[in-house]
Structure 1
Amino acid sequence: MINEETIPLKISPRAFTAFGADLVTNDNIAITELVKNSYDAFAYNVVVEFGEDEGGAYIKIIDDGLGMTRQVIKEVWAVLATKHKVKNPLIERDGKIRKVSGNKGLGRFSAAKLGNTMDIWTKSPDDGFLKIKINWKNLVDFDDLGECQITMEELNDTAIFQNPGTVIRIGDLNSIWSPEKILETKDSLSRLIAPFKNIDNFTIQLRSSTIEGPVNITAPKFIEKPPYKITGNVDAIGTIHWEYTYSPTNINHNPKTKTGIINWNEGKLGFTGYQEQLSLQECSGEMDYSCGPFSFEIRVWDLDVESRGEISAHYDIGKNDIRRALAQYKGLSIYRDNILVLPKSDASKDWLGIDLRRVSRIGKRISTNQIIGIVNINSKDNPELKDTTDREKLMDTKEYKEFINLLGSVINELENLRSLDKTRESETSSNGKKPLVNLFTSLSAERLVGKVELAVEKGEDNKQILKYVNEFNNENRENLDDLQKRVTYYAQTASLGSVATVILHELLNGMNAIIRFIKRVDKTCSPLETKTREALNDASESHARLVDLARTFSPLVRKDLYKAEYKCLVRETVDKSIRLIRAGDNAQGVVINNYLPNNILLPIHEGLLQTIFINLLDNACYWIQQNGQEKTIDITAKIIDDNQKIKIFVSDTGVGVSEEESECIFEAGETSKSQGFGMGLVIVTEILSYYGGKVGVLFPSLSSGATFEICIPLAKGAE
């Protein structure tokens, strides 16, 4: 080493701009940060005032907190990025404890975003009455941070107030504060305190000569009574415990409450149904949950004209005021120790991506303008959920990815449950829904043509003929609406056949290469030692099962599938379905008993019958795991109609299905599973319908859970 020297690190005074005006992206965020400082000073009341005096337009933040001593000003306030709040996370006053919200030591510099000058008057119970003057522009003009200074003087106690507190006056403002912009600040401050939980002894008030006031930051009454609500918590191992409540404003609809759990292995899949947002390394094997426990409450409103009308009449509030009130709090907000973390601006209100997925995934989705949600975290249990320096988001850590995936699963669950209730209360129910084939038949105009022809023969006038046409139109409008929804829904899955064709082709090609290698090893390397021989035999048997599986389902992608005639043994096919289901996580520990008789033939392709039973068994296993009790599925049957048909019963020990729910679960897109698409039972219904069969829920159940009943004709000549 020729020369070595030590070079001191220096910070330019422009750091004040970087940590203040440049870093804080929004004026409302800047005001929010200053109000949070008042909360951290254990203020009971905070006033945000917009006004004008001989010094020009100003913004004041007035609080009755504990103020600052001379020592705190010198050693904490005047120190950049101090760790004071990190070392002192709790503050005490009048025998009460409050958790402080800040931890980076930068919030006060957000004042530079608002204006160029700042005057602070502060009084602490332990010190005198002090005044601080700062000019942000002048500080930036210095060459070295060490030259930067602020002025502090001691005043007479009666100058502004005698009790402890702080007044901040920001002048030489950088923006013009119109009445509209001030109201935006009101909306921003309204989110600062969680709307569902009143924090004792902390109020925020807004004052301005341009708005009628003063305005107290409070939530309207109707927000306390949402029609749909899900609350719950995530425990230390990542299990979601939820409770869903349906409380319709319309007294003709029945309220309900339902509870359930989502385990970590399912919850971590999030919105997408797979671990898209977790890295490959994090996804490998069983990933332990590390984010920590947290709680949530999400409320949802319907915003159609009729629903807003019901709210308006019930709470004596204007329909437009309902939208405006929801807009103040809309979206999902994170509160750390009861103080807002996200979102701090309109740009980040959909930080979870709720709106984006509405156009990218099948089903009935909610949007941010329909929901008010809070997620409560705390510094002790969730230390790795950290704010970014600009306060606009959380740092992209493994724990954050776990956090957003679990919240995505909660949203999925809420949407599914809400959709079931909306469907249940609609005029139609799935018991009256027709399979897709019958929907097309019901739209036939043959009956209308017959009526018109008869009317023409009788010489009826045009008005009577038009009446027949209108009657036909009214009768079929419901079927047309249903057909449109279902065809749109099915269209989104139509490409699966093409995808399946490619997958099966590649799978069989790959299997050919594997079996050639297995045979070559067996031929060239024999005799093999015992463990190698066992491994080779296992590989050969696994290859045979995969090929058999591919060949079983390959006819399902053929266009002429339904034209050919098939016969399959139902017991044998169900046994194959059970073997496939046992490989899934949901089937762990579940005993599946196949009590079906031998030699029963059904006129259906084996792959289609497997599709039916795989869907039913997979659902049964899922709900059994949610129940946590005895884990058993019994498959039984009886022959009816003089040996013409068979009824097959799939009975489980899961959470069961209510009669109300049974009216909805056969609808396209309706599901109670957090990661479900609402397609499985629809597929079962359509397959059975084509072969003259049907499926439903049996009441009373044959077990402690649910019993699904299949009825289908036997193959001709079957015993």
Structure 2
Amino acid sequence: MLESKESSGSLRPKARLVHTLGSELISSEDVALVELVKNAYDADATQVTIRFNGPLKSGTGSIEVWDNGHGMTADTVRKVWLDIATPYRKEVITSESGNRRVLGEKGIGRLAASRIAEHSVITTRRTDGTETTFRIDWGQFHRDLYLDEIEVAVVEEQPKVFVSHGEASVVQGESLTESGTVVKMERLLRDWQYTDIANLRLMLERMIPPLPEGVIDSDLQAVFSVELIVPDEISELGGSVSPSDILMLPDYKMAGNVSSDGIAHLTYIERRTGAVEEITINLRVSDDLGDATRLPSCGPLTIDFRAWDLDREAFEAIKPELSQSNIGIRDYRNQIKDHAGLALFRDGFRVQPFGERGYDWLNLDLRRVNSPSLRLSNNQVSGFIFLTADLNPGLRDRSHREGLIDTPEYEDLKQVSLQILAEMESRRYKFRKRLGSGRERRSPGSGLFEKFDLSGLEALAASRKADKELVAAITETAKEVRAATSDLQEILLQFAKSATLSTLVDMVLHEGRTGLMDVDNGVRKLNIVRQRLDTFDLPEVERRIGDSLDSLGNGRALVGSLFDRLSPLAGRKRGRPQKVQLSSLTNPVSQIFAAELARQYTTLSVEVDDATVSVEPIEFQHILINLVSNAMYWVRQRPDSKRKISIRAGRDDGGSIVIYVNDSGPGVPEDKKDLIFDAYVSTREGGMGLGLSIVHTIAVEYYGGAVSVDDDGALPGANFRVVLKKRVS
């Protein structure tokens, strides 16, 4: 019998692990170079120079990254730089000067060079110190070696590079401080084309935001610049990297600070009018159930959002201020799109890939589909969100150094950003309405279909009885227009019905599934009886069948009730107004929402006059469904115990039908009361902007009435007043 033996072993990483960490976890050569620039930033450099030495072909050429930071001693190289995944930066979180929060924490950014070339030669010097040079052949890390079998020779000698009249003085010029580091990456792994360097330049332009002094806190303003040195044939890509001057001339700007308790102090600036508005917002975020009652957890932020209109009118307004006097509208749009996107800056440095062209992390393009009149697309916005590693610890990088981990803090950051962007969007929409470049809503009382009224022309033709042919032509034309108008009204009603039904989809799915669960349960019980019929006596069989039928009956009743409640909305055509009791119109609506109201702990009260009115039931119920659905959304921003909605309906002294839907939500801000009835304009995030527009269309177009937001509701939130005048007696 074998006796037990105990032994030990040790983990020995293969050398190719370094290749995995450096080459495969960094997505592109551009990102690799940015990682090296970030290392220079952590070394307190004020100037970084990236030099391209041709021919920039695979197996030849080189790329060098120079900085004037504090440099390293030979001892630091051996004990820190060569220590892969060193905890040094987690333990020492500020730069040597104490002025910068360091960007690197994982200790693997130095391996980025393995993505670019076959080997690297690093030379570094501290002020008044010796110069240290070491060479790394990245090809060794592809061989079948263990990591501790790879030797790196570290040579310490008298300075020759970082000295006056040395190579560093040629590259860095006046920024030479006789200290610094250069990483020379030789024998490139791939060809570098014109577009590759142009894309790198654009990425570097986005690294430091173009904000003038005083716009954000001074500690976020890093003294840091980057320069490119390129071959003569592409000299236009060389020189100091700076953002396009278009970024300094936005049509709209919203900037300010968000405190850790969700209070935003913002300034809105409108370039073309010179308008400046100070805004304070108490931000709240939604939980998984959609209840917006919680303080954001993302931490304090500094925000600067800039937006542009891309039409010709906006271009002509900005053109005199641009440094490129010969720029055309296509170039104008392309420059904005090149710099578009919402960028995150941690401790003064951009987090990849936030702010990259096409990286729409807030889904602005999809959001705009629902509300094209109001929302901005991703290619119209250039934004800067500033945070710090110390004050925003929940916003953490992914292991591959691009993007943030999906934490609750990150989700809150998205909601906060969208709420602030929405404030800018609503002000932009009002400006464009005044300007006349946006689609304006019809004013109450001057409905769309009134423009098709030819009664005046018919009366004029009737007075010209001598021209019978003209009278007949006008009469026939008027008849055709009335018929076409009726058809158009029917089409709009079907559209309104479809949009209204979309608000009920969640309720239908939830209650329908509940009913089907009862049916499934009944079927399951019957199957058990069938399979075990021989083992049950008759009374047991009868009992089990009875239970099964009860489950089936409950399911059928639930689904049947659901269909009954929806059936009033199923009319295919717009009929003549019917004489009905007001209560018969409001009761089905309250029943439709009963289950959802209970789920969100909302109380609905209905107070209706005992009156007979003449209306089309479907149209009346569409008004109520859209107003109640809107109220149900907004009351979720209140605690459970304060969620209330009331419906009141009756006749006024003039015989018109008046409907009030009042809620305990946050109410409608004064500056948005003239926007919310516009089609495709919604102040709720993700809303399509159709519900209140449908209410307006039915009340004004079909009943010659009006819709307004009143201030005297019994509940403290929004109080919608709808008046129906025509055809209601």
Query: Could you say which residue in structure 2 is the equivalent of 1:190?
Result: 205
1:655 Cα shift? Answer: 6.9
> Structure 2 vs 1, CA of residues 580 and 191 (structure 1 numbering), >3 Å: closer, same or farther?
same
Whether 2:68 is the aligned partner of 1:64: answer yes
> Structure 2 vs 1, CA of residues 204 and 486 (structure 1 numbering), >3 Å: closer, same or farther?
farther
Query: Could you say which residue in structure 2 is the equivalent of 1:37?
Result: 39
Query: Could you say which residue in structure 1 is the equivalent of 2:318?
Result: 311
> Structure 2 vs 1, CA of residues 621 and 118 (structure 1 numbering), >3 Å: closer, same or farther?
same
> Structure 2 vs 1, CA of residues 328 and 683 (structure 1 numbering), >3 Å: closer, same or farther?
closer
- Find the aligned partners of 2:257 and 2:244 in 1 and give their Cα distance: 26
Query: Could you say which residue in structure 1 is the equivalent of 2:186?
Result: 171
Query: Could you say which residue in structure 1 is the equivalent of 2:235?
Result: 211
1:31 Cα shift? Answer: 0.9
1:265 Cα shift? Answer: 2.2
- Find the aligned partners of 2:493 and 2:610 in 1 and give their Cα distance: 38
Whether 2:576 is the aligned partner of 1:556: answer no
AA paired with 2:703? G
- Find the aligned partners of 2:393 and 2:141 in 1 and give their Cα distance: 35
- After the TM superposition, which of the residue ranges 498-507 and 397-406 deviates more from structure 2? 498-507
Query: Could you say which residue in structure 2 is the equivalent of 1:668?
Result: 679
Query: Could you say which residue in structure 2 is the equivalent of 1:122?
Result: 124
AA paired with 1:309? E
Q: Which runs of 5+ in 2 are unaligned?
A: 164-176, 478-484, 523-555
> Structure 2 vs 1, CA of residues 708 and 61 (structure 1 numbering), >3 Å: closer, same or farther?
same
Write out aligned runs for 1:408-427 (5 A): 415=425, 418-426=428-436
- Contact 1:354/1:368, CA 8 A, preserved across alignment: yes
1:400 Cα shift? Answer: 3.9
Whether 2:270 is the aligned partner of 1:263: answer no
Query: Could you say which residue in structure 1 is the equivalent of 2:545?
Result: none
- Find the aligned partners of 1:634 and 1:389 in 2 and give their Cα distance: 51
- Contact 2:515/2:559, CA 8 A, preserved across alignment: no
1:340 Cα shift? Answer: 1.4
- Contact 1:667/1:678, CA 8 A, preserved across alignment: yes
AA paired with 2:568? P
- After the TM superposition, which of the residue ranges 667-676 and 257-266 deviates more from structure 2? 257-266
In percent, how many aligned pairs have the same letter? 26
> Structure 2 vs 1, CA of residues 256 and 635 (structure 1 numbering), >3 Å: closer, same or farther?
farther
- Contact 1:30/1:110, CA 8 A, preserved across alignment: yes
Query: Could you say which residue in structure 1 is the equivalent of 2:251?
Result: 227
Query: Could you say which residue in structure 1 is the equivalent of 2:353?
Result: 343
1:170 Cα shift? Answer: 1.8
Query: Could you say which residue in structure 1 is the equivalent of 2:304?
Result: 297
Whether 2:384 is the aligned partner of 1:374: answer yes
* Residue from 257, 268, 272 that aligns with 1:249: 272
What do the CA deviations read for 1:115-174 (whole angstroms, capped 9, x no partner)? 123222211248422222222224544622222122222222354326221122222222
Whether 2:332 is the aligned partner of 1:326: answer no
Write out aligned runs for 1:479-498 (5 A): 493=499, 496=502
- Calculate the TM-score normalised by the size of structure 2: 0.72
- Contact 2:253/2:269, CA 8 A, preserved across alignment: yes
Query: Could you say which residue in structure 1 is the equivalent of 2:221?
Result: 199
> Structure 2 vs 1, CA of residues 243 and 563 (structure 1 numbering), >3 Å: closer, same or farther?
farther
- Contact 2:303/2:386, CA 8 A, preserved across alignment: yes
> Structure 2 vs 1, CA of residues 404 and 119 (structure 1 numbering), >3 Å: closer, same or farther?
same
SS across alignment from 2:693: helix
> Structure 2 vs 1, CA of residues 193 and 8 (structure 1 numbering), >3 Å: closer, same or farther?
same
- Contact 2:87/2:106, CA 8 A, preserved across alignment: yes
AA paired with 1:49? R
* Residue from 85, 90, 97 that aligns with 2:94: 90
Write out aligned runs for 1:392-411 (5 A): 392-404=402-414, 406-407=416-417
AA paired with 1:395? I
What do the CA deviations read for 1:535-590 (whole angstroms, capped 9, x no partner)? xxxxxxxx999988874553112325644624233699499859969976999899
AA paired with 2:198? L
AA paired with 2:205? S
> Structure 2 vs 1, CA of residues 21 and 420 (structure 1 numbering), >3 Å: closer, same or farther?
same
Cα-Cα RMSD: 5.4
- Calculate the TM-score normalised by the size of structure 1: 0.73
AA paired with 2:285? W
> Structure 2 vs 1, CA of residues 571 and 44 (structure 1 numbering), >3 Å: closer, same or farther?
farther
- Contact 1:431/1:663, CA 8 A, preserved across alignment: no
AA paired with 1:264? V
1:235 Cα shift? Answer: 5.7
- Contact 2:703/2:727, CA 8 A, preserved across alignment: no
- Find the aligned partners of 2:629 and 2:503 in 1 and give their Cα distance: 21
- Contact 2:445/2:704, CA 8 A, preserved across alignment: no
AA paired with 2:399? T
- Find the aligned partners of 1:635 and 1:380 in 2 and give their Cα distance: 50
> Structure 2 vs 1, CA of residues 656 and 105 (structure 1 numbering), >3 Å: closer, same or farther?
same
1:626 Cα shift? Answer: 7.6
> Structure 2 vs 1, CA of residues 448 and 59 (structure 1 numbering), >3 Å: closer, same or farther?
farther
* Residue from 676, 690, 708 that aligns with 1:697: 708
Whether 2:571 is the aligned partner of 1:569: answer no
- Contact 2:422/2:683, CA 8 A, preserved across alignment: no
Write out aligned runs for 1:265-284 (5 A): 265=286
> Structure 2 vs 1, CA of residues 126 and 351 (structure 1 numbering), >3 Å: closer, same or farther?
farther
- Find the aligned partners of 1:577 and 1:220 in 2 and give their Cα distance: 56
- Find the aligned partners of 2:331 and 2:572 in 1 and give their Cα distance: 55
AA paired with 1:228? Y
Q: Which runs of 5+ in 1 are unaligned?
A: 276-285, 470-478, 517-542
What do the CA deviations read for 1:321-352 (whole angstroms, capped 9, x no partner)? 53344344321222222211121795872344
- Find the aligned partners of 1:90 and 1:181 in 2 and give their Cα distance: 33
1:220 Cα shift? Answer: 3.5
- Contact 1:240/1:263, CA 8 A, preserved across alignment: no
Query: Could you say which residue in structure 2 is the equivalent of 1:476?
Result: none
What do the CA deviations read for 1:307-334 (whole angstroms, capped 9, x no partner)? 2222222334424553344344321222
Write out aligned runs for 1:417-496 (5 A): 418-426=428-436, 429-432=440-443, 439=448, 442=451, 493=499, 496=502
- Contact 1:634/1:651, CA 8 A, preserved across alignment: yes
- Find the aligned partners of 1:492 and 1:340 in 2 and give their Cα distance: 45
- Find the aligned partners of 1:548 and 1:662 in 2 and give their Cα distance: 37
Write out aligned runs for 1:500-649 (5 A): 506=512, 551-560=564-573, 562-563=575-576, 565-569=578-582, 573=586, 598-604=609-615, 609=620, 611-613=622-624, 615-616=626-627, 642=654, 644-647=655-658
- Find the aligned partners of 1:34 and 1:368 in 2 and give their Cα distance: 29
> Structure 2 vs 1, CA of residues 429 and 125 (structure 1 numbering), >3 Å: closer, same or farther?
same
* Residue from 684, 689, 692 that aligns with 1:681: 692
What do the CA deviations read for 1:656-686 (whole angstroms, capped 9, x no partner)? 6677644432111112223433122112123
- After the TM superposition, which of the residue ranges 651-660 and 4-13 deviates more from structure 2? 651-660
- After the TM superposition, which of the residue ranges 441-450 and 176-185 deviates more from structure 2? 441-450
- Find the aligned partners of 2:93 and 2:674 in 1 and give their Cα distance: 53
SS across alignment from 1:90: coil
> Structure 2 vs 1, CA of residues 337 and 395 (structure 1 numbering), >3 Å: closer, same or farther?
same
- After the TM superposition, which of the residue ranges 653-662 and 131-140 deviates more from structure 2? 653-662
> Structure 2 vs 1, CA of residues 649 and 394 (structure 1 numbering), >3 Å: closer, same or farther?
closer
Query: Could you say which residue in structure 1 is the equivalent of 2:480?
Result: none
> Structure 2 vs 1, CA of residues 294 and 116 (structure 1 numbering), >3 Å: closer, same or farther?
same
1:68 Cα shift? Answer: 1.0
- Find the aligned partners of 2:114 and 2:683 in 1 and give their Cα distance: 50
> Structure 2 vs 1, CA of residues 584 and 47 (structure 1 numbering), >3 Å: closer, same or farther?
farther
SS across alignment from 1:169: strand
Q: Number of residue pairs matched?
A: 651
What do the CA deviations read for 1:633-674 (whole angstroms, capped 9, x no partner)? 9988896565x2244566789776677644432111112223
